Amino acid sequence: MSAERFEKKKTIDLRKKHIGPSCKIFFSHDPIKIVQAKGQYMYDEKGQRYLDCINNVAHVGHCHPDVVKAGAQQMELLNTNSRFLHDNLVLYAQRLQATLPDKLSVCYFVNSGSEANDLALRLAWQYTGNKDIITLDNAYHGHVSSLIDISPYKFHQSSDAEQNQYVHVAPSPDVYRGKYRGEHLDPATAYADEVKDMVQRVHKKGGKIAAFIAESLQSCGGQVIPPQGYFQQVAQHVREAGGIFIADEVQVGFGRVGTHFWAFQLQGEDFVPDIVTMGKPIGNGHPMSCVVTTKEVAEAFMSSGMEYFNTFGGNPVSCAIGMAVLDVIVKEDLQGNALRVGRYLTNLLEKQKEKHPLVGDIRGRGLFVGLELVKDRLKLTPATAEAQEVIYRLKEQYILLSADGPHRNVLKFKPPMCFTTEDADLVVDKIDHVLTGIGKVIFIIPEEGHFVAKPAVMQSTGTQKVHTNYIMFFKVTKHWGKTLNLAIVLHCHY
């Protein structure tokens, strides 16, 4: 199979014609065509190499040969559903179980993080007999309808979304920008008490809590690290109300946090969720995922009398691939690498914070790191345009990074786990360069106000080149001839 069949322009045209326009592409005004990838590198149609800092799905490295081999061999032999006995299914379940606390012993294999989180809700509803769900602000748990309902990150995007009456949004336990911050004496208790109060409000209205769901570390929500002890306290409040705790590890599981295999374990050994959902990295890109729960929850689900069948879930190929991923994590000590390289990266970024006022916060665990850009370190004014600028400039330097969070001002690092200290040096060096240049753009403007310009009329200093491919919208807030802090809104979607 040739790596490229069409000229890039033809690919773009066909995509516009045949792919749903809600499916956004990176760098929409000059998208990247990737034809090959290996380890932490991706290659475009001209052979240009990109350093990948964002694809946490390619967990053990793009196209890892052990994973490819396991998948290809099993595809040749058998790929069928779980209504037949197969050793891969039970062996893989046993191996996943071995990474978890003992009481999390029962697996349901499904095809995506969305299927996993939806099933987690079904398990919670059936086990508790209750309906109400508490979710966190800015949370994203998946794209099926039940999960849009519990994903403020999504339903806030829609102009006409109604909030589901059974869904209640607690504050995100963000100690940088949230309701209780770093200077608070006990943010874990303060945030957990918000959930406690919410439970009481729900009860007063006649509701009953089925579950609290949270990513163990919030990803799209802005790389948020909840304070230690928060989950324990939330779990206590929620369980006292008859509900259960669902830890969503779809983005952050499988050793990424370095010190532990699962991110919920960062909270301490005394914390065990009732349900853990897994996804993205589990199959290094193969469509698969898993829900793990307790015997009690599983038995309650069965007692409804309703069978659960998932056509592709737990097929022998998916399980073979899943086991190969676990093997590579151990064999290449990728969890250890995440810890070491993650610390190295975080240290480098901390130095950027000392150097650039725009860098408001560095936070992370292992190879899950966020860098939050702010215009003012006291007011925490989000530097959204600057974050977009960094992403675009890095792309021009063949580095893939993304910005996320409610204000899209948090640079997200979640690279393949084979990321090296050299890769960290490279990306931080480039970020340094871009941050040095930002805010020094000299621009000839007719008057204060909104202004649309082709890049040709713009000059830049401090960066290697100006953008050439997209129209920019500037909001100019200072006067003629002065050095400007431009609010640049690129007309593109992330």
Closest CA to 484 of 425, 429, 443, 451: 443
* 8-state DSSP, 31: -
Q: Which of residues 285-324 bind a second copy (CB under 8 A)?
A: 285-288, 293, 298-299, 301-302, 304-315, 317-318, 320
Q: Where does this chain touch a second copy (CB under 8 A) — which range of 51-59, 182-190, 344-352, 356-364?
A: 51-59
Q: Residues 100-139 vs a second copy: string with x where CB under 8 A?
A: -----xxxx--xxxxx--xx-xx-----------------
Nearest-angstrom CA–CA distance, 126 and 303: 9
Residue among 266 and 317 whose Cβ is closer to a second copy: 317
Provide the β-strand partners of residue 170: 136
Residue among 190 and 320 whose Cβ is closer to a second copy: 320
Q: Residues 55-94 vs a second copy: string with x where CB under 8 A?
A: x-xx---xx-x-xx-xxxxxxxxxxxxxxxxxx-xxx-xx
Q: How many CA atoms lie within 13 A of 203 on its CB side?
A: 12
Nearest-angstrom CA–CA distance, 305 and 284: 35
Nearest-angstrom CA–CA distance, 168 and 150: 8
In the complex, the smallest distance separating the C-beta of residue 240 from a second copy, rounded to whole angstroms, is: 24
In the complex, the smallest distance separating the C-beta of residue 117 from a second copy, rounded to whole angstroms, is: 10
In the complex, the smallest distance separating the C-beta of residue 258 from a second copy, rounded to whole angstroms, is: 23
In the complex, the smallest distance separating the C-beta of residue 141 from a second copy, rounded to whole angstroms, is: 13
Residue among 142 and 364 whose Cβ is closer to a second copy: 142
Residue among 154 and 256 whose Cβ is closer to a second copy: 154
Q: Which of residues 425-444 bind a second copy (CB under 8 A)?
A: none
In the complex, the smallest distance separating the C-beta of residue 477 from a second copy, rounded to whole angstroms, is: 26
Provide the β-strand partners of residue 50: 42
Give the burial string for 370-389 (b: 16+ CB within 10 Å, else e).
bbbbbbeeeebebbbbbbbb
Q: How many CA atoms lie within 13 A of 430 on its CB side?
A: 21
In the complex, the smallest distance separating the C-beta of residue 42 from a second copy, rounded to whole angstroms, is: 7
Residue among 27 and 231 whose Cβ is closer to a second copy: 27
Chosen residue from 128, 135, 146, 346 binding a second copy by CB under 8 A: 146
Chosen residue from 33, 340, 356, 433 binding a second copy by CB under 8 A: 33
Q: Which of residues 148-207 bind a second copy (CB under 8 A)?
A: 148, 154-155, 157-161
Residue among 33 and 356 whose Cβ is closer to a second copy: 33
Chosen residue from 29, 32, 421, 433 binding a second copy by CB under 8 A: 32
Chosen residue from 48, 145, 464, 477 binding a second copy by CB under 8 A: 145
Nearest-angstrom CA–CA distance, 286 and 425: 30
Which is it for strands 106-110 and 289-293: parallel, antiparallel or unpaired?
A: antiparallel
Chosen residue from 34, 380, 426, 487 binding a second copy by CB under 8 A: 34
- By CB under 8 A, tell whether 279 contacts a second copy: yes
In the complex, the smallest distance separating the C-beta of residue 69 from a second copy, rounded to whole angstroms, is: 9
In the complex, the smallest distance separating the C-beta of residue 82 from a second copy, rounded to whole angstroms, is: 6
Closest CA to 382 of 408, 356, 421, 401: 408
Nearest-angstrom CA–CA distance, 149 and 61: 33
Residue among 86 and 430 whose Cβ is closer to a second copy: 86
Provide the β-strand partners of residue 18: none
Inter-CA distances, 373 with 287, 349, 352, 388, 403, Å: 34, 12, 11, 10, 10
Q: Where does this chain touch a second copy (CB under 8 A) — which range of 188-196, 278-286, 329-337, 382-390?
A: 278-286
Burial of 398 (0-12, 13-18, 19+ CB in 10 A): middle
In the complex, the smallest distance separating the C-beta of residue 469 from a second copy, rounded to whole angstroms, is: 15
* 8-state DSSP, 376: -
The span from the first CA to the last CA of the chain, in angstroms, equals 30
| Range list of β-strands (E), 217-358 | 244-248, 275-278, 289-293
